[in-house]
Structure 1
């Protein structure tokens, strides 16, 4: 299975697991979602929504399920999803991630998408077409509730997708 979701969902589900591989110059400074801007829930059982829904995006996410829902601190989080990628993704693709605890910014990082895919035994280029995935992610025992925005871009800055989530954790 090939998956662009692996890097995106890892960023959404495990703040402490995010690692910066390369800082890229970006045409924006604050990637926060405008709270008044419309979003669309991702079909399935997850706290994830698609942001920037008025913008053209290269990934149509058909469903996303997480188990357990809500996630549990210190436990494995099983993630399953499917989508359709309208254009191939090659080296140079990246994800901008911003994580907030209330008004406090905890993380703002640029992640090399292809390097993250390699950590999940995938590789670039990704061909256009149906993408399916299933992955377990180990969540740290100490992780606060947070709001996250992850925007993925091709090397030419065309938007692959924008995901946002407000994540609360239950105790295991």
Structure 2
């Protein structure tokens, strides 16, 4: 589960994690308009279907993962760029859900500021341009899901079969300020290990 927690944290923090610097003396550069629902860059991220990303506090320019998809036993390099249109203070939170197929493995609400330490940041995050470059060593063994199959209904334990699935995961991260204003909402679908 440690890997899933790390992967989930990276999903929701990658676009946020960076050092803020003003883009210009006159305010923000032009907003990034997403082409469809995909987040720009080499990544499995999509904006959540129920949200309109143009209204989010975080406008994501791009997120690049190398390798994409992530591979067990390698170093994952994350490069992300975006703009925060509001200062992010203590009390911000992430609603996180990790699924294996239809099975929910993790559903939790986490303090965003506590999670930022995983990417060498702390609250408050200042308004302005955000740039992140982060390397994460992925474990050689990605947790598998054990599925138990009972092929014989009359004597289920006599023909017990276990199938270890490396399978596909889905991660949903909805990020809010302490005042419940949406920072961003992202999905990563069909992440396969």
| Fold match (TM-score > 0.5) | yes
Taking the TM superposition and a 5 Å limit, the aligned residue runs for 1:24-43 are 40-43=37-40
TM-score, with normalisation over the residues of structure 2? 0.66
Deviation at 1:136, TM superposition (A): 1.2
Residue 106 and residue 73 in structure 1: after superposition, are their counterparts in 2 closer, same or farther (change >3 A)? same
Which deviates further from its counterpart, 112-121 or 87-96? 112-121
* Equivalent residue runs for 1:33-112 within 5 Å: 40-51=37-48, 52-54=50-52, 56-112=55-111
The 3-state SS of whatever aligns with 2:116 is helix
Counterpart position of 2:175: 152
Aligned position for 1:142: 142
Larger RCO, structures 1/2 (Cα 8 Å, 6+ apart): 1
- Report SS of the residue matched to 1:165: strand
Q: What is the number of residues matched between the two proteins?
A: 139
Aligned to 1:129: 128
Greater mean deviation of Cα atoms: 146-155 or 55-64:
55-64
Change (3 A) 1:167 1:75: farther
CA–CA distance in structure 2, aligned partners of residues 19 and 97 of structure 1:
7
Task: Identify unmatched segments of 5+ residues in structure 2.
Answer: 10-35, 144-165
Residues in 2 aligned to 1:108 and 1:96: alpha-carbon distance in whole angstroms: 8
Q: Would you say the 8 A contact 2:85–2:127 is kept in 1?
A: yes
The answer as to whether partners of 1:73 and 1:169 remain within 8 angstroms in 2 is no
Give the distance between the partners of 1:53 and 1:99, measured in 2 at CA: 19
1:117, distance to aligned residue in structure 2 (A): 1.2
Determine the structure 1 residue equivalent to 2:22.
none
1:99–1:105 CA contact under 8 A, matched in 2:
yes
Is the alpha carbon distance of 1:16 and 1:93 closer, same or farther for their aligned partners in structure 2, counting shifts above 3 Å?
A: closer
1:36-73 Cα shifts (integer Å, max 9, x gaps) = xxx61011100011114326311100000000011102
CA RMSD of aligned residues (A): 2.1
